């Protein structure tokens, strides 16, 4: 089984897998960045669309874009559920994306 390619000069900090995909926090300068891949339905990958990523040629590595979480956001943790992902920032704020049909509880510890 091959390794997942996250792109050049990116070190994995934290990764998480959900029911439909995965995300990883990468140590990018100056702040950590996020890439997600898998089934994009319901906007669950955070790219503002419903495209699947990582299932065709030229969709991983440097081809896989970073999720736009905003300027200057310092991500410290990431969680996944059934169709959603959420991040915790260094200032204690949370951002989430994807399917939100059941009011899922997100727990950061």
Q: How far apart are the C-alpha atoms of 76 and 89, rounded to whole Å?
A: 5
Burial of 54 (0-12, 13-18, 19+ CB in 10 A): buried
Specify the higher pLDDT residue, 10 or 43.
43
Please check whether residue 33 is in contact with residue 17, taking contact to mean a CB–CB distance below 8 angstroms.
no
pLDDT for residue 14 is more than 90:
no
Q: Enter the pTM of the model.
A: 0.85
- Ranges 10-19, 50-59, 65-74: which has the least confidence: 10-19
Average pLDDT over residues 84-95: 91
Cα Rg of the chain (Å, integer): 13
Average pLDDT over residues 72-89: 89
Q: How far apart are the C-alpha atoms of 15 and 36, rounded to whole Å?
A: 10
pLDDT of residue 49: 94
């Amino acid at each position: 089984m091959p390794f997942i390619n996250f792109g050049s000069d990116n070190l994995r900090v934290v990764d998480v897998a959900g029911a439909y995909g995965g995300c990883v926090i990468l140590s990018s300068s100056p702040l950590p960045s996020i890439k997600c891949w898998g089934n994009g339905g319901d906007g669950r990958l955070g790219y503002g669309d419903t495209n699947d990523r990582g299932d065709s040629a030229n969709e991983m590595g440097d081809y896989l874009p970073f999720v736009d979480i905003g300027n200057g956001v310092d991500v410290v943790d990431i969680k996944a559920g059934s169709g959603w992902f959420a991040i915790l920032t260094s200032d204690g704020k949370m951002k989430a994306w994807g399917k939100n049909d059941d009011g899922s509880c997100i727990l950061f510890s």
